[in-house]
A and B are shown apart, each in its own frame.
With several copies, the nearest count.
Chain A
Amino acid sequence: MINRGYYGEFGGAFIPEILFSTIEELVEAFQDARNDPTFWKEYTDIMSTFSCRPTPLTFAENLTKHFGGARIYIKREDLNHTGAHKVNNVMGQGLLVKRMGKSRVIAETGAGQHGVATATMAAKFGFRCTIYMGEVDVARQRPNVFWMERLGAEVIPVRDGTRILKDAINEAFRDWVTNMDDTHYVLGTACGPHPFPEMVSYFQSIIGKEAREQIFEREGKLPARVYACVGGGSNALGIFSGFFDDPVQLIGVEAGGKGLDTSRHAARLALNDSSIGVAHGYRTYFLQDEDGQMKETHSVAAGLDYVGVSPILASLRQKGRVRFEAITDKEVLEAFSLTVKMEGLVPALESAHAFAQAFKELPDISGDDMILINLSGRGDKDIFIVADAFADPKWQGFIQKKAEDYSA
């Protein structure tokens, strides 16, 4: 552990001693792969045959007209196999698992996207697979649970703690310290102990590489601003990394939940409600109380309600390279509806946060400029939440009819 994975004062590897060798093995496997000139090719090959990379860049003509200013481009991670950017990360880690000769993978999941992606990767590579998921998330993201099980994964509902993503992470670590010999922990975002933040960002950087090339080819210049939602930070880092050296504003959008003046949100970098702490293996900003106990968070988007955030993003905030904003549940649903109706795109509620923030800022952006929004995933998975948000009576009738059939 020479390079302990620090980004400014954030990051590190705060791990139980028992994981020391496991993490070292992973660091090595990752470094080897990275230095192997054929590895990135192997990675892009599988991403272009199993998923549909490069994912397209869509010009949002109607939204552009609607707002009457900068041209809006959308990076289409929703078109990935399994419906979100998560697959970029899991397929990369899957290749490392093969290199390490392990036969089982575990993962935490919140929205269920990462769980489905991991279960899919496990099916493809022939690994056994266990997914940890907070009981609250199991309840609100049942369709994803259903598919994970069909894919052959065992889904374990986590009934301890706040029963959401962070508790699933803890539970995954508990599995890992027990089964590290044959098991790799496929962390789902750019958080956790070194080398996860770096490794996950590395695989997700494929988004930014492609997006920069595509937009430049299309417009002959770069966008003025790039927007991405921030749960753990992986899709944001993925797209931002394409523009770090460019004069491009990068905006990370967090979950404002019920409102920034309430405690029911998950804004770690956009507000001053968080403080630096150490948990889940790394140092970053956490939503915690004065004693260092993690707080409950809230977002209508299950994938954004994590208490911590990527140490790389924490550092980029400190450096002033990335600006952070927060969008409330209510604003998200409006942006969601507008995007669906005007562009025929159905963003995941997570991704819709990025859209909402972009819409807010458009009046301030010159009409000669372009902006780029990362559409991190598709919203099909959110049907139960969206239907409830819109209180759709026909949907409710349908569910009630189904329930009756099951009771009969």
Chain B
Amino acid sequence: MLESYLRDKLQKKDILIMTHIVLGYPSLEDSFKIIETMVKAGVDLIEMQVPFSEPIADGPVILRANQQALKGGATVQGCFDLAEKVTRAFDIPFLIMSYFNIPYKYGTTRFVSNMATRNLRGAIIPDLPPEEGQEYLKVMQTLHLAPILIFSPTTPIERMKYLATFARGFIYCIARKGVTGETTTFSEELGSYLSQCRKATSLPLALGFGIKEKADIDFLKGKAEIAVIGTQTIRIMEKKGIASVENFIRSLL
């Protein structure tokens, strides 16, 4: 199970690194290469976004990556095929990230089964509150996959506790209001938000949205178990090429 994998890892490391990638951006082949680079650089887990035409919670960088991937011909089937390839090739956990319409249209149960078959370990679906996701949560549980739920700074503690009852693997805590890719201030406020999250769940906490450099990650040590690197990798890759992703990630560790 995902949570025990993370706990194991955390025996050896202060904080784990989860990176994010949009499948098919710039192309499915490149996605494989980027993942390879990331694994080599030492990331602990990777969330792979299946591109969607309406990525409501993503900022401009990831939004455009979604669009480019779709323009380039990325399909759900293509993403599954790639997922299968990477889970075979690399020995870290991979998660799917997507908006609900992708599994819904595919057939939620069929989608989740497919994830299981391909050895994916969990999924993040930012527009699916548990109230709407009963079928999804049920199959995820049956197939021992981790539904990663989200806490935000506006989530009341009662709701955090409620969400935690459905969550498996870890909790994805978003660092601030807004969408992906904007600047986050790593301040005391963030610290107290995380300790609030801690009170609501015994699962490991991942913090995402706006992590850019080592200092950010150092700040998080002791406050969260996982640092999520999203937009920044895409920016680096766009500016300096796929190869440079490795150095960037190493610089964070």
Contacts and interface: CB of A to CB of B under 8 A. Distances in A.
A292 B131 contact: no
B149 interface: yes
B128 A20 contact: no
A4 B131 CA distance: 8
B179 A177 contact: yes
Contact of A1 (B52, B63, B104, B131): B131
Interface stretch (B1-9, B155-163, B188-196, B214-222): B155-163
B99 interface: yes
Given A12-B132, A160-B63, A288 B105 contact: yes
Contact of B129 (A20, A173, A277, A279): A20
A179 B159 CA distance: 20
A146 to B, nearest CB: 26
Interface in B26-67: 52-60, 63-64, 67
B104 to A, nearest CB: 5
Main secondary structure on B side of the interface with A: loop
Contacts of A20: 129, 152, 154-155, 159
B67 to A, nearest CB: 6
A16 B54 CA distance: 13
Contact of B54 (A13, A22, A166, A290): A166
Interface centre among B53, B58, B179, B182 (most CB of A within 10 A): B53
Contacts of A128: none
A291 B102 contact: yes
Contacts of B75: 291
Nearest to B76: A291
Given A14-B129, A17-B129, A160-B63, A173 B102 contact: no
Interface residues of A, number: 38
B177 A179 contact: yes
Given A4-B132, A160-B60, A292-B101, A17 B177 contact: no
B100 interface: yes
B73 to A, nearest CB: 11
B17 interface: no
B70 interface: yes
B154 A293 contact: no
A362 interface: no
A144 to B, nearest CB: 24
B238 to A, nearest CB: 16
A13 B132 contact: yes
A399 interface: no
A177 B209 CA distance: 13
A170 interface: yes
A178 interface: yes
Main secondary structure on A side of the interface with B: mixed
B56 A280 contact: yes
A223 B132 CA distance: 40
B51 to A, nearest CB: 8
Nearest to A4: B131
B53 A161 contact: yes
Interface of A: 1, 4, 12-22, 160-161, 166, 170, 173-174, 177-181, 275, 277-281, 283, 286, 288, 290-294
Given A292-B102, A292-B105, A280 B155 contact: no
Contacts of A294: 53-54
Interface string B146-179: 0001111111100100010000000000100111
B54 A275 contact: no
List the 5 closest pairs (A to B, CB-CB), nearest first. A292-B105, A18-B152, A178-B178, A292-B101, A293-B53
B126 A278 contact: no
17 contacts: A18-B155, A20-B155, A21-B155, A21-B156, A160-B60, A160-B67, A161-B67, A174-B56, A174-B58, A278-B99, A279-B54, A279-B56, A280-B56, A286-B101, A288-B101, A291-B75, A292-B105
A159 B76 CA distance: 25
B149 A17 contact: yes
A292 B151 CA distance: 26
B90 interface: no
B132 A17 contact: no
Nearest to A19: B154
Contacts of B159: 20-21
Contacts of B76: 291-292
Contacts of B84: none
B154 A18 contact: yes
Contacts of A277: 101, 104-105
A16 B67 CA distance: 20
A179 B154 CA distance: 11
Contacts of A16: 56-57, 126-127, 150, 152
Nearest to B182: A178
Contacts of A160: 60, 63-64, 67
A17 B156 CA distance: 11
Contacts of B155: 17-18, 20-21
Contact of A17 (B60, B70, B151): B151
